[in-house]
């Protein structure tokens, strides 16, 4: 996974067209948005509700894939040991589909980094983020279709409200957790986002990256004009 293109140029963020495109892309690659909710809904259907476990497992899959390139921009925390997610899943799926989910996950957060945290945004970053949209939806579609073919999925979904498939429930589920974390941060209980994330990651079975992104979005100053 790489967005390095020949003849990359740094974008002029004062240009209205560039600024609007970046705003739209930031909305798509939003850690509290619909896309990531739908992504984690896959694991809720599989019966895996430990986001920290999912985070570690998917990074391990990605780091062992041919597309992995060691890069400081891949801002993912910690080393991982091999984890077989099927051991934790109530619906068993083929390794290929976990590989597709790993690609979606790492691509999402790479785009998030380029659009929100990188020192500057280049034309290559913009093109990569745009081209990744169709690939992400295609991979998620393949995974959902594969899961729906499983007999265990039919049995599971017959016991639940079909409308819960959209992923909206994840945002509600974590609302109280976010409020708790934000309250502690405001009280000055932590010096860094990473310190706070480590404290609550294990308690709530979330990845440290998820919590750090919540804190960053809530308390960091946004980039001027975008």
Exposed / middle / buried, residue 206 (Cβ in 10 Å: 0-12, 13-18, 19+): buried
pLDDT band at 159 (very low <50, low <70, confident <90, very high): low
- Given a contact cutoff of 8 angstroms between Cβ atoms, the answer to whether 123 and 11 are in contact is yes
What per-residue confidence (pLDDT) applies to 223? 41
With H, G, I as helix, E, B as strand and everything else as coil, classify residue 122: strand
Question: What does the pLDDT look like over 171-205, one tens digit per residue?
Answer: 666 788 888 899 889 988 888 888 898 888 888 88
Q: Quick one: CA dihedral 185, 37, 95, 111, positive or negative?
A: negative
Q: Report the pLDDT averaged over residues 44-69.
A: 87
* Mean pLDDT, range 111-133, rounded to an integer: 94
Average pLDDT over residues 114-126: 92
Distances (CA, A) of 143 to 151, 186, 193, 194: 15, 40, 33, 32
- Answer yes or no: is pLDDT of 147 > 80: yes
Task: Answer whether 163's CB lies under 8 Å from 173's CB.
Answer: no
Instruction: Over range 49-57, report the average pLDDT.
Output: 92
37/46 Cα distance (integer angstroms): 14
* More confidently predicted of 175 and 160: 175
Average pLDDT across the chain, whole number: 82
Q: Tell me the pLDDT band of 125, cut-offs 50, 70 and 90.
A: very high
Please write down the HEC assignment for all residues of 43-104. HHHHCCCCHHHHHHHHHHHHHCCCCCCCCCCCCCCCCCCCCCHHHCCCCCCCHHHHHHHHHH
Q: Alpha-carbon dihedral of residues 209, 24, 100, 6, nearest 10 degrees? A: -100
| DSSP SS3 for 10 | strand
Bridge partners (DSSP) of residue 10 are: 122
Q: What is the pLDDT of residue 137?
A: 95
Pick from 3, 221, 2, 18: nearest CA to 124: 3
């Amino acid at each position: 996974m790489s967005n390095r293109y020949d003849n990359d140029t740094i974008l002029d963020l004062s240009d209205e067209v560039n600024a609007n495109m970046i705003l739209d892309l930031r909305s798509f690659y939003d850690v509290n948005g619909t896309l990531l909710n739908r992504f984690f809904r896959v694991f809720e259907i599989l019966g895996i509700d430990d986001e920290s476990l999912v985070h570690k497992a998917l990074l391990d899959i990605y780091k062992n894939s041919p597309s992995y390139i060691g890069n400081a921009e891949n801002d993912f925390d910690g080393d991982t040991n091999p984890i077989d997610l099927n051991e934790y899943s109530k619906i068993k799926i083929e390794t290929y589909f976990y590989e597709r989910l790993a690609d979606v996950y790492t691509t999402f957060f790479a785009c998030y980094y380029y659009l929100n945290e990188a020192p500057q945004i280049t034309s290559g970053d913009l093109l990569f983020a745009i081209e990744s949209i169709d690939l992400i939806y295609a991979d998620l579609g393949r995974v959902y279709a594969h899961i729906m073919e499983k007999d265990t999925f039919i049995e599971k979904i017959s016991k639940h409200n079909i409308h819960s498939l959209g992923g909206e429930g994840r945002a509600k589920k974590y609302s109280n957790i976010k409020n708790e974390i934000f309250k502690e941060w405001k009280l000055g209980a932590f010096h860094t986002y990473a310190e706070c994330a480590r404290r609550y990651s294990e308690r709530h079975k979330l990845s440290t990256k998820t919590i750090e992104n919540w804190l960053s979005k809530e308390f960091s100053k946004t980039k001027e004009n975008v």
